[in-house]
Structure 1
Amino acid sequence: MPASLAPGVTRREAWSWAMFDFANSGYTTVVITAVFNAYFVAVVAEGKPWGTLAWTSTIALANALIILSAPLVGAYADAFACKKRLLLFSTIGCVACTAALAWAGPGALGIAVLFVVLSNFCFGSGENLIAAFLPEIAREDALGRVSGWGWGFGYVGGLVSLGACLAYVGWAQGQGHDAAQFVPVCMLITAALFAVASVPTFLFLRERSQAQLQAGAAPLAQAVWRRFAKTLREAGRYRDLRRFLACTVCYQAGISAVVTLAAIYADQVMGFSTQDTLLLIFVVNITASLGAVLFGWLQDRLGHRATLALTLCGWLGMVGLTWAAQGPALFWLAANLAGLCMGASQSAGRAIVGLLAPPTRLAEFFGLWGQAAKLAAILGPMTYGLSSWLSGGDHRLAMLITGSYFVAGLLILAGVDLERGRRAALAEA
C-alpha cells in the first residue's frame, strides 16, 4: 500500500481516509438499502399504494438539494481550503438526523420525510467532500487501487452496521417485537456507529490544499459564485469530464434504483421477511467489498474505462437475472452480481473523476460529480417508482426499464478519452 500513496501520506492517514467510507456506509446500507426504505413503505406509509412513490420522491427531494448546492460547496471548500471542516459539519448533521428517524412511527410521514431528506443531504455532501481527498492521498497511477481499498473498506463498515442491526432484529423478533419497535432502535445503532467510526478521519486526515481566497477579501457568496461561474465558462475545456459526468448520470441512475429499492423488491416480489432481506444485504456487502478491491486493482492494469465498461455489462446481466427470478436462488445470484458490480463501478467512477479534475479544483469538480450522481439518484428511483405505479405494481417491468440506463451509460462511455481529459486537467494546474 505505501507504494500507492502520494509523497508525504502515511499508512495511518490513508487508513483514516478510508475509515470515513467505513463510517458512512452504514447509513446507505441500513437506511437507504436494507431497513428503513421497506419500513417507510410498509409501516410509515401504512402499506398505501403510493408508498413506493412517496419513498422515491423523498429521496429525489434530498438529491435535488445536493444538485443545487454541491458545486458551490465544493467551490467554497477549494477557495478557503476547508474540505475537512465542512466534512465535519455534514457528518454531525447526518448522524443527528439518522438518530431522529427513530421518531418515525406508523403514519408519521412528515417526520420520516423531513429527516430522510436532511440526513441524505448531509450524507451526500460529505460523500463529495471525502472523495475530493483521493487525488491528495493516492499517486496518479494508483487512483483505482486506493479508491477500491476505500470502497472495499466501506462495505465492511456497512457489514458492521447491518450485522449489528441484524443481531438486534433477531433478538427483538424473538421477544415478539414488531417493525415499529425494532426499526427505530436500528436507526440509533446506525447513527452511533457512524459517529464513532468517523473519529479517526477527523484526527488524522490532513487538509493539504492551500486557500486560494482570503476570508473577508470579498463578499463570501460573491467570491464562491465567481469561482463556480468561471468553471462553467470554461466547461468546453473539459469535454471528456462533461461526457463522463453524462455517463455517470446514466449508469448511476440504474444503480440508485437498485440500491434504493432492493429491500422493497425483495419484500413485494420475492416475499422476503425483514430478517431475510437483512441477511441478503449482509452477504451482498461482502461481495461488494470484494468487487471494489478486485476491480480497483484491475483498473490500474486494464484501464479505468475498460473496467467500468465491464462492470456496466455486469449490471445488465443483473437486471436480466432479477427480471427472470421466480424463486430465491436466482434472485440471490442476481443480488450478489449487483454487489460485485456496485463496488467496482463506484470505485471506478471516483478514480476517473480524480484523474480528470484539475489539482486546484478538486472539491469543486468532485462536487460536479456529486451533482451528476444525485441527479441520477432522482432519475433512477423516480423512473422505477413511476413505472411501478403506472403498471399497477409490476416491479419486474420497472426493473427491466431501469436496465436501459446501463445501456445509455455504455454508449456515452465509448466517447470518453481519459488521456485527453487528463491533459486538460493538468493544463489548468
Structure 2
Amino acid sequence: VGGMVSAMFVLLVLGDVSAENYERIRWVGPWAAFFFFVAALPTFIWVREPGVAASWQPAGGYLRAGIAQVTSTLTHMEAHRDLAVLMVSVFFAMSGINIIIAYSFIYGSQVIGWDEQVRTLMFVIVQITAAAGALGFGLLQDRIGAVRTYRITLVLWMAAIALIWGTPLIVDGLARFAGIHWQAQYVFLVVGTVAGMSLGSCQSATRTLVGLFSPLARTAEFFGFWGLSMRLASVFGLLAIGLLQALFGLHMAILFCLLLFAIAWQVAARIDEARGRLAAEAVS
C-alpha cells in the first residue's frame, strides 16, 4: 500500500521520466526521502530497543570494523555451504530484479510508448499480482519446498523477460496471423502480470531460505549479509544495464536480465535444502 501511494504521487504529480520533464521529475529524490522519513516515524516514536544500550567505539574506525565483520561472516559461512550458494544465486537474481524495478517504466515509455493511463494501470496490476504471487507461492512452498519454489520463480522471471522483450513481436504476430490489432501497451499490461507474480514470489522464497539456512545464533548476521548482497547486486545490475543500454539500446539490453536469471537458476540447482537446514540446526 505504501509503495502504491508513493508511486501514484510520482506518476500523477511529477509526471513522466523524460528529459523534457526534468525540472519536475528531479524532485523524486526529495519526495522519496520525505516518504521514508514519515514511514520511519512510528518506529522511532513507539518501538523501544530491548535491553540496555551500550556504547561501542571501534578501535580502527567504522570502515575497518565493517570490513572485519564481513570477513568474519564469510568465514562463518564456510560451514554453511548451501547458504553460501544461495547468496551467489540471490546476487544474480536480485541484479535482474533491480533492473526491472528501475527500468520497467522507462522501458514502457521509450520502447512500448504507453500513455499515462496505461502506465498507472500497470503499476496497480504489478502491486496486486506481486501480493498474489507471494501468497500463492508461499502455499506452494509449503508443499514442494523452498528451493524448488525459488527455482520455479526464476523460470517465471525468464518467461517475463522474454515476453517483455518480445512484446513488439507479439503485437506484429497477432496482427499478421490472427488479424488481432492490439496496441503494444495493452500486450505489455498482460506481460506485467507475469512480472508481478515473479516479483513477490521470488523475494519471498529467498527470504525464507535464508531463514531456514541460518543458525539461530547468527540469524541477524546472515540476514544482514543477505541485505548487503542485494545492495551489491543492485549496483552491479544497474551499472551493467546502463552500459548495455548505451551500446545496444534498451530493447536489446533488457535481455541481459534473462541471462542473470538463467545464471541464478543454474546456481540454485546446487542447493540442497535438507542439507542446509541440517547444517543450521547442528550449529544452533
User: TM-score by structure 2 length?
Assistant: 0.79
Tell me, what secondary structure is at the counterpart of 2:112? coil
CA–CA distance in 2 between the matches of 1:337 and 1:264?
A: 18
Counterpart contact for 1:289–1:343, Cα < 8 Å: yes
Q: Partner residue of 1:336?
A: 193
Q: Partner residue of 1:376?
A: 233
CA–CA distance in 1 between the matches of 2:167 and 2:51?
A: 50
Please tell me the residue identity of whatever aligns with 1:417.
D
CA–CA distance in 2 between the matches of 1:228 and 1:164?
A: 38
Counterpart contact for 2:91–2:233, Cα < 8 Å: yes
User: Which one of the candidate residues 274, 278, 284 is aligned to 1:419?
Assistant: 274
CA–CA distance in 1 between the matches of 2:51 and 2:191?
A: 42
Change (3 A) 1:224 1:409: closer
Cα deviations across residues 286-344 of structure 1 (Å, max 9, x unaligned)?
Answer: 22122222223332333111111111111111111111112112211222211110011
Matches within 5 A, 1:243-262: 243-262=85-104
CA–CA distance in 2 between the matches of 1:404 and 1:358?
A: 32
Matches within 5 A, 1:20-419: 156-168=1-13, 179-180=21-22, 182-183=24-25, 187=29, 189-203=31-45, 205=47, 207=49, 215=55, 219=59, 221=61, 227-273=69-115, 276-326=118-168, 327-391=184-248, 393=249, 395-419=250-274
CA–CA distance in 1 between the matches of 2:65 and 2:234?
A: 29
Tell me, what secondary structure is at the counterpart of 1:416? coil
User: TM-score by structure 1 length?
Assistant: 0.55
Tell me, what secondary structure is at the counterpart of 1:237? coil
Cα deviations across residues 372-420 of structure 1 (Å, max 9, x unaligned)?
Answer: 22232233233322222222x2x22212232011111111111111222
Counterpart contact for 2:118–2:186, Cα < 8 Å: no
Unaligned runs of 5+ in 2: 169-183
Counterpart contact for 2:108–2:185, Cα < 8 Å: no
Change (3 A) 1:232 1:308: closer
Please tell me the residue identity of whatever aligns with 2:2.
G
CA–CA distance in 2 between the matches of 1:216 and 1:193?
A: 30
Q: Structure 1 residue 351: deviation in Å? A: 1.5
Counterpart contact for 1:164–1:189, Cα < 8 Å: no
Aligned length: 264
Tell me, what secondary structure is at the counterpart of 1:337? helix
Please tell me the residue identity of whatever aligns with 1:268.
Q
Counterpart contact for 1:249–1:372, Cα < 8 Å: yes
Counterpart contact for 2:113–2:185, Cα < 8 Å: no
Q: Structure 1 residue 422: deviation in Å? A: 2.2
Tell me, what secondary structure is at the counterpart of 2:243? helix
Change (3 A) 1:359 1:220: farther
Change (3 A) 1:256 1:224: closer
Cα deviations across residues 62-110 of structure 1 (Å, max 9, x unaligned)?
Answer: xxxxxxxxxxxxxxxxxxxxxxxxxxxxxxxxxxxxxxxxxxxxxxxxx
Unaligned runs of 5+ in 1: 1-155, 173-177
CA RMSD of aligned residues (A): 3.0
Counterpart contact for 1:322–1:330, Cα < 8 Å: no
Please tell me the residue identity of whatever aligns with 1:314.
L
Q: Equivalent pairs: percent with the same residue? A: 34
CA–CA distance in 2 between the matches of 1:428 and 1:324?
A: 48
